[in-house]
Amino acid sequence: MFKSVHDKPGKASDMTVFVNGAETAAWNGETVASVLLRAPGAERRSTVSGEPRLPYCQMGVCFECLVIVDGVASTQGCLVPVAPGMRIESQHGPREISK
Amino acid sequence: MDCDVIVIGAGVVGAALAYGLARKGRSVVVLDGADRDLRAARANFGLIWVQGKGSDAPAYSALTRQSSDLWPGFLNELSNISTSRVDYARPGGLVYCLSEMEYANRHAVNERTHNQGAQADTEMVSRVQLERMLPAVTLGPDVVGASYCRLDGHVNPLQLLAALHRAIAALGGKILFRNPIDRIMPVSGGFRVSVSDGTLQAPRVVVAAGLATPGLTEPLGLAMPLKSERGQILVTERVAPILPFPASGLRQSADGTVMIGATNEKIADTAVTAASATKLAQRATRIIPALGSARLVRQWAGLRVLPLDKTPIYAESSDHPGLFAVACHSGVTLAAAHTDVIAPAIANGRLPDDLAPFSNGRFNVQKCA
């Protein structure tokens, strides 16, 4: 797994977010996708092939980082900056459209 | 001679014909155009559509029905030969009606088609019936009902095109990509065209180059009167299945994306406009308001290939025997007929009399009179 360049011994993180319920350190200015790259077991499953996926392009194009952010499904994690207390959950399957 | 037949155009029409010719044991070389060519085969909506098609042209209506019935067998064989997955379903299709007037007009189109002798396979369904057919959505207040035809279906058109290309190669045919040509030269016993590494000669040539077709056939005296029409399409992110039936202008693909289309514009470029995106999205959300929460991921435009009377043209040259040309709007719907009916006729060297309603001679009023 990746490690943040800000993650140094004796230095506190800027905030805590929750990835699938687990407290995870995060820093100002990073995106949800960058947190996903270092959170264990945070992959999603492709709705087409069923294969595991992690964030790839980091610039809004590939849609590999789709994730549920504070309850909003199919959010592109690479386009959303982290915020204190944010709840990030892996999305399995396509988004449901309300009836 | 280098092969039995040269097919000019590797879009869904040319590829279906080349595949059909290869299935009949003919050696084929398919010439594809340039990357930036118009490529209707890569822009279309993916309906295999019967209802309303040819409502003023009985032969076209009958050919459409025939192709729609041939489709399952055609696809089964194509999938096996190409070892490709092609998403296809034939649950029947809908045309939503958003006012009493739209409902009455749609009803009239169906009556007219049936009065021509077509089997009565399209019916009007009320809003209440429609609600039962679409349990996963809430219809907008404007939806009065729909017209439903049990023969309609849909396919992933990009998978279809890729499968045709693979099947042609699997049957020994050759496709030369990025090989636009600007003319066909008649030579003794056939035709010659320029390819990137020299020339190619064959006793037969089939021109299926979309809107570029007349420019290739008319210098040889074969008229192919076409016009173009721009269609813009929107596609949403993948969402859980909500639409079990494809509809005119609104279908959910097997992957979950919802396609919203299409405009009919007398414009000859493939640009997209915000005004059309708005118009398409508004109509779609009038049908299913919840679609307003789905993200759009892409908008694109393509140019329809329309014979002047909208009916396909299957033409052969009398001056240059062995020269054929095919142009139509419904390359996806008619793909099965092109492979199973038109290609075998071309393989035999001439188009049968029952295809006469599709000849290019129909446009020549003086000759007919």
Note whether residue A96 is domain-resident.
Answer: no
- Which CATH number does B5-82+157-225+309-368 carry? 3.50.50.60
Q: Tell me which DSSP letter residue B34 carries.
A: -
Concatenate the DSSP letters of all residues of B127-184 into one string.
HHHHHHH-TTS---TT--EEEEETT-EEE-HHHHHHHHHHHHHHTT-EEESS---S--
pLDDT digits (tens, 9 = 90+) for A55-99: 999 999 999 999 999 999 999 999 999 999 999 999 988 888 888
Whether A99 sits inside 8 A of B239 (CB atoms) is no
Residue segments in chain B with a per-residue pLDDT below the cut of 70: 117-118, 365-369
Tell me what pLDDT residue B196 has: 83
Whether B290 sits inside 8 A of A98 (CB atoms) is yes
Q: How far does CA B58 lie from the centroid of its chain?
A: 18
Q: List the CATH number of the domain containing A40.
A: 3.10.20.30
The pTM score is 0.91
Cα–Cα distance, B353 to B359 (Å, whole number): 10
B-chain residues within 8 Å CB-CB of A97? 137, 239-240, 242, 290-291, 293-294
Cα–Cα distance, B360 to B105 (Å, whole number): 31
Number of separate domains in chain A: 1
Q: Closest residue of B to A47, CA-based? A: B255
Q: How far is B137 from chain A (nearest CA, A)?
A: 5
Cα–Cα distance, A85 to A16 (Å, whole number): 6
Whether A97 sits inside 8 A of B291 (CB atoms) is yes
Residue in A47, A95, A99 closest to B138 by CB: A99
Tell me what pLDDT residue B369 has: 45
Q: How far does CA B216 lie from the centroid of its chain?
A: 21
Tell me what pLDDT residue A21 has: 96
Cα–Cα–Cα angle for B290, B291, B295, rounded to 5 degrees: 125
Burial class (CB in 10 A: 0-12, 13-18, 19+), B80: exposed
Note whether residue A5 is domain-resident.
Answer: no
Residue in A47, A63, A98 closest to B256 by CB: A47
Q: In the Cβ-directed half-sphere of B230, how many Cα atoms lie within 13 Å?
A: 13
Whether A95 sits inside 8 A of B136 (CB atoms) is no
Contact A8/B at CB under 8 A: no
Contact A99/B at CB under 8 A: yes
Q: How far is B343 from chain A (nearest CA, A)?
A: 34
Note whether residue A3 is domain-resident.
Answer: no
Cβ contact B202:B190 at 8 Å: yes
Q: Closest residue of A to B298, CA-based? A: A61
Residue in A47, A94, A99 closest to B137 by CB: A99
Contact A49/B at CB under 8 A: no
Q: Is the dihedral of CA B276, B330, B322, B37 positive or negative?
A: positive
Q: How far is A97 from chain B (nearest CA, A)?
A: 7
Tell me what pLDDT residue B365 has: 63
What's the fold here for domain B226-307? D-Amino Acid Oxidase; Chain A, domain 2 (3.30.9)
B-chain residues within 8 Å CB-CB of A98? 290, 293
The angle, 0 to 180 degrees and rounded to 10, between the axes of the packed helices B58-82 and B157-170 is 60
Cα–Cα distance, B189 to B349 (Å, whole number): 13
Concatenate the DSSP letters of all residues of B65-122 into one string.
HHHHHHHHHHHHHHHHHHT----EE-S-EEEEE-SHHHHHHHHHHHHHHHHTT----E
Note whether residue A98 is domain-resident.
Answer: no
Q: Closest residue of A to B257, CA-based? A: A94
Whether B240 sits inside 8 A of A96 (CB atoms) is yes
- Residue A88 in 3-state DSSP? strand
Q: What are phi and psi of B183, to 5 degrees?
A: -160, 160
Tell me what pLDDT residue A66 has: 93
What is the extent of the structural domain holding A22? 15-89
Whether A47 sits inside 8 A of B238 (CB atoms) is yes
Q: What is the ipTM of this complex?
A: 0.75
Domain spans in chain B, listed from the N-terminal domain onward: 5-82+157-225+309-368, 93-150, 226-307
Mutation target among A72, A95, A96 for the B interface, most CBs of B within 10 A: A95
- Edge to edge, what strands does the sheet with B185-187 contain? B185-187, B190-195, B198-202
Q: How far is A62 from chain B (nearest CA, A)?
A: 11
Tokens 């014909």 appear where? Answer: B17
Q: CA dihedral in degrees (B156, B157, B158, B164; nearest 10)?
A: 110
Cα–Cα distance, B53 to B49 (Å, whole number): 7
Nearest Cα to Cα of residue B317 among B209, B192, B193, B223: B223
Contact A13/B at CB under 8 A: no
A-chain residues within 8 Å CB-CB of B255? 47-48
A-chain residues within 8 Å CB-CB of B240? 93-97
Tell me what pLDDT residue B118 has: 66
pLDDT digits (tens, 9 = 90+) for A16-47: 999 999 999 999 999 999 999 999 989 998 88
